[in-house]
Amino acid sequence: MGIFSLITGRPGPSGFGSASTAEQVTEGVDASNLTAIVTGGASGIGFETARVLALRKAHVVIAARNMDAANEAKQLILKDNEAAHVDVLKLDLCSMKSIRAFVDNFNALNLPLNLLINNAGIMFCPFQLSQDGIESQFATNHIGHFLLTNLLLDKMKSTARTTGIEGRIVNLSSIAHLHTYENGIKFDGINDEKSYSDKRAYGQSKLANILHAKELSRRLQEEGANISVNAVHPGLIMTNLFRHSAVLMKILQLLSYILWKNVPQGAATTCYVALHPSMKGVSGKYYLDCNEMAPSAYASDETLAKKLWDFSNKLVNSPPTTSN
């Protein structure tokens, strides 16, 4: 899958390509026996992912920080699909307290959990710390999803055991993982404001998403759990993620318009990896345009993945500061 395929939309080995939409790649899939959580499902490709999963009859839980937007998203889905089964729960990935409350609230619903779509994120933000004292892009894009996933794993394992259906976890990464700090992850300076770069910090967090998927996949395979974990790059899509660099991104979009996707195309790879039958048993991979791609050398480094896992565990168990 090279630049020619990206520009032309020519399908790859999977039969799909950059021009494929989320509805197209899930056509014929019956997800009526599945329950899915979609973080950031109130807008952008998260909303499209939630909409298409619901269209394929999955029970969808939209996890979002803005409950007004989440409820509006639910109503939009129900307007076009009266039979859709959609719930909304509050989740602020920048707060470990909120993440733990979300998991408690989800567990109180007594639902199974087959699919976890770690979609939400922030991008190119000025330097700031999360409620737990961690640089915000790393905290929201990686640490928040790392903790959320760990807290939901037992539920996913029990669902997979009792139903015999493979659980699937999808981490939304980005090709931006190629543009990160020296040595990949700045373990000794996550909160160093002087060396902070909004672009490299974003790339670092997206690299962390791939490394998280790879290490979790390794651990689950070693354990024999019936759960796959993969990372995806949705492509270049103009969404609210670009609000901190709107002018720059508009200029970039004009100069490279043939590389950009619309939202239905942007959600395709997520939905493909989450639902397509051909993905059964596939784990620890990185996907672009619904086809497997080789990520960067850093993203393929097993030692770096294990180091990040240990580092992340320490952060969630002993954050720099405790939120009130």
What are the tens digits of pLDDT across the range 214-262?
A: 999 999 999 999 999 999 999 876 544 444 445 554 544 443 444 568 9
Q: Is 133 left (phi over 0), alpha (psi -120 to 50) or beta?
A: left
Give the CATH number of the domain where residue 143 resides. 3.40.50.720
Nearest-CA neighbor of 116 among 83, 84, 159? 159
What are the tens digits of pLDDT across the range 77-118?
A: 999 999 999 999 999 999 999 999 999 999 999 999 999 999
Report if residue 92 sits inside a domain: yes
Q: How many separate domains does the chain show?
A: 1
What are the tens digits of pLDDT across the range 203-219?
A: 999 999 999 999 999 99
23 near 48, Cβ under 8 Å?
A: no
For the chain, percent of residues with pLDDT exceeding 70: 89
Choosing from 196, 202, 287, 298, the catalytic residue is 196
Report if residue 171 sits inside a domain: yes
130 near 142, Cβ under 8 Å?
A: no
20 near 262, Cβ under 8 Å?
A: no
Report if residue 108 sits inside a domain: yes
Query: What value does the mean pLDDT take over residues 287-291?
Result: 96
Q: What is the pLDDT of residue 11?
A: 87
303 near 250, Cβ under 8 Å?
A: no
DSSP annotation of 319 reads -
Q: Which residue type, as a one-letter code, is found at position 316?
A: V
Q: List C-alpha distances in Å: 128 to 30, 191, 199.
A: 43, 9, 14
Q: How far apart are CA 269 and CA 13, in angstroms?
A: 14
Q: Which residue type, as a one-letter code, is found at position 254?
A: L
SS3 268: helix
Query: What value does the mean pLDDT take over residues 24-39?
Result: 98
Average per-residue pLDDT for the chain: 91
Nearest-CA neighbor of 116 among 155, 174, 79? 155
SS3 205: helix
SS3 134: coil
Q: List C-alpha distances in Å: 97 to 44, 144, 181, 310.
A: 25, 10, 29, 21
Domain that holds residue 114: 3-314
Nearest-CA neighbor of 101 among 151, 67, 146, 135? 151
Q: List C-alpha distances in Å: 144 to 113, 205, 284, 287, 310.
A: 18, 11, 20, 22, 15
Q: What is the pLDDT of residue 69?
A: 98
The reply to whether 196 belongs to the active site is yes
Report if residue 322 sits inside a domain: no
Q: How far apart are CA 309 and CA 312, in angstroms?
A: 5
Q: How far apart are CA 5 and CA 190, in angstroms?
A: 37
Q: List C-alpha distances in Å: 60 to 37, 67, 128, 175.
A: 6, 15, 32, 27
pLDDT at position 145 over 60: yes
Report if residue 324 sits inside a domain: no
Report if residue 141 sits inside a domain: yes
Contacts of 82 (CB under 8 A, 6+ apart): none
Nearest-CA neighbor of 120 among 66, 46, 203, 177? 46
Report if residue 254 sits inside a domain: yes
Report if residue 136 sits inside a domain: yes
